[in-house]
Amino acid sequence: MMAGALLAAGQARRFGADKRQARLPDGRTLLEASAEAFIGRLGPLALVLPEDDAFGLELCGRLGLQPLACRLNRGGIGHSLACAAAWALGLPGCRGLVLGLADMPAVRPHTVSQVAVLPGRG
């Protein structure tokens, strides 16, 4: 089984606000659109979030994602990666982890499915 994790614990300092909540022309938030490409293409799917992130927790509940609170998120993306890796290592039968970013709404579901296939193991 391949797991997935979306990294959404950044501070978006360059954007000036919580870009995950920015609305796309179709009405979805940036984070929602980014997550939808991963849903149903992998085994368990987690969302790495800052601690006490009401917006992220609501989205997890609505989309069936596993919330992962990253208490060291202010230290940089490496801490979010470590949080996701530690979670995946604890999953029985997990043979890999596909990572995505919360600000990648143009990723297509087919692309996620192709990345999730390990060479020689189809």
- Give the count of beta carbons closer than 10 Å to the beta carbon of residue 111: 13
Average pLDDT score over residue span 41-56: 95
Residues 84-106 pLDDT 10s: 999 999 999 999 999 999 999 99
pTM for this prediction:
0.90
Alpha-carbon distance of 65 to 12, in angstroms, equals 22
Residues 60-75 pLDDT 10s: 999 999 999 999 887 8
3-class SS at 20?
Answer: helix
71-91 burial, b at 16+ Cβ within 10 Å, e below that, comes to eebeeeeebbbebbeebbeee
Ramachandran region, residue 64 (left: φ > 0; alpha: ψ -120 to 50; beta: rest): left
Q: Are 69 and 57 in contact (CB under 8 A)?
A: no
Residue 120 has pLDDT above 80, yes or no: no
